[in-house]
């Protein structure tokens, strides 16, 4: 990590996590972040559901909820960036404090509750951004909505013309009852979102983001629903409500746990999805990635691309380029032409863990 970045990360970690996050967004918006652009090569260039990525290392939803710092994030080296989650109406989210660092575990617990500026405000920012880079949007539902399933389609209609992909987020643990939409209600929910996509000026991929706290029967049910819809891919996974082996001052806080402790759990779900879908749709691996080796493990478990978030708060944005370069070196060492050649090679092993 460069010395200036090291100093900045140390300073931000002395602050309240939500305050530090706000300052990071402000700095990126002001152009104070890395400016090198995405690492790329013939091996790193990746095709994801019709999207041409310069590299397979993306930013997960939640970092730039309101699409305020997209140019700075794309300049930092990501192959693609996902903003949001965004709901039809603005909402403040849950009461503060609502995010807690667990530095000894390189983890974070959050219970934000889909705090965001609402679809209209975010659509205006997305429409105003300069062309270039792959940008997606995470679709959410308002806490007090009378029809949460319809909320996802509403956000897509408003913001969809200005993004390259959209993600249906039915897996946040911080909106009561939201995860219930991963069951029998999923098919009509996806039908509504895909119908809304038909009204957009261009067809964009629609992904489904799922929770890590699923048994094998639930994973199989979700895979079947995703294939039947059909969506264009699955993001595995969101944060976990599990606290297996977790210790520390904030370990008992309510909310979703992300970071290092999520890695094995989310990677197993990813691999099970790869097996259940028969590699019929691309998967995006998320959860606990903090190195090129972690990203490589996700790819071998079935991911066509990966996303980061929590590790950036501990290791800085230079991690993005480090992971991309590490993947490129690994592909070169193994004599592979591209990421697709490694996808799913260890899926059966991970699925059996």
Task: Give me the active site residues, please.
Answer: 172
Distance CA 190, CA 114 (A): 20
Distance CA 346, CA 260 (A): 20
Distance CA 56, CA 311 (A): 17
Instruction: Write out the two tokens for 284.
Output: 């995006």
The sign one gets for the Cα dihedral 60, 62, 63, 67 is positive
**Spatial contact of 168 and 153, defined as CB atoms under 8 Å apart:** no
**Spatial contact of 141 and 175, defined as CB atoms under 8 Å apart:** yes
Residue among 63, 122, 62 at smallest CA distance from 90? 122
Distance CA 346, CA 177 (A): 34
Distance CA 227, CA 208 (A): 11
Distance CA 209, CA 321 (A): 25
């Amino acid at each position: 990590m460069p010395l200036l970045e090291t100093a900045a990360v140390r300073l931000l970690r002395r602050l309240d996590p939500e305050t530090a996050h706000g300052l990071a967004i402000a700095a990126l918006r002001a152009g104070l972040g890395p400016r090198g652009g995405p690492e790329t090569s013939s091996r790193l260039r990746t095709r994801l559901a019709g999207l041409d990525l310069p590299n397979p290392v993306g930013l997960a939803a939640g970092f730039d909820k309101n699409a305020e710092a997209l140019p700075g994030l794309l300049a930092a080296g990501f192959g693609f960036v996902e903003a949001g989650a965004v709901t039809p109406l603005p909402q403040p989210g849950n009461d503060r404090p609502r995010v807690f660092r667990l530095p000894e575990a390189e983890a974070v617990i959050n219970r934000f509750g889909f705090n965001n500026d609402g679809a209209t405000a975010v659509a205006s920012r997305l429409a105003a951004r300069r062309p270039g880079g792959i940008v997606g949007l995470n679709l959410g539902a308002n806490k007090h909505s009378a029809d949460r399933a319809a909320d996802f389609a509403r956000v897509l209609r408003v913001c969809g013309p200005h993004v390259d992909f959209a993600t249906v987020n039915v897996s946040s643990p911080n909106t009561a009852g939201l995860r219930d939409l991963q069951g029998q209600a999923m098919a009509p929910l996806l039908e509504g979102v895909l119908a809304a996509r038909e009204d957009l000026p261009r067809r964009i991929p629609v992904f489904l983001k799922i929770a890590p706290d699923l048994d094998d029967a639930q994973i199989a049910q979700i895979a079947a629903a995703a294939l039947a819809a059909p969506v264009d891919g699955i993001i595995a996974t969101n944060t976990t409500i599990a606290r297996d082996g977790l210790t520390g001052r904030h370990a008992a806080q309510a909310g979703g746990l992300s970071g290092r402790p999520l890695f094995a759990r989310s990677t197993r779900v990813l691999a099970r999805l790869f097996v259940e879908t028969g590699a019929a749709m691309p998967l995006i691996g998320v959860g606990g990635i903090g190195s090129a080796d972690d990203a490589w493990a996700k790819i071998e478990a079935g991911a066509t691309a990966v996303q980061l978030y929590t590790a950036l708060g501990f290791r800085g944005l230079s991690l993005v380029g480090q992971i991309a370069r590490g993947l490129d070196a690994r592909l070169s060492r193994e004599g592979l032409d591209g990421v697709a050649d490694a996808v799913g090679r260890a899926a059966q092993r991970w699925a059996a863990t």
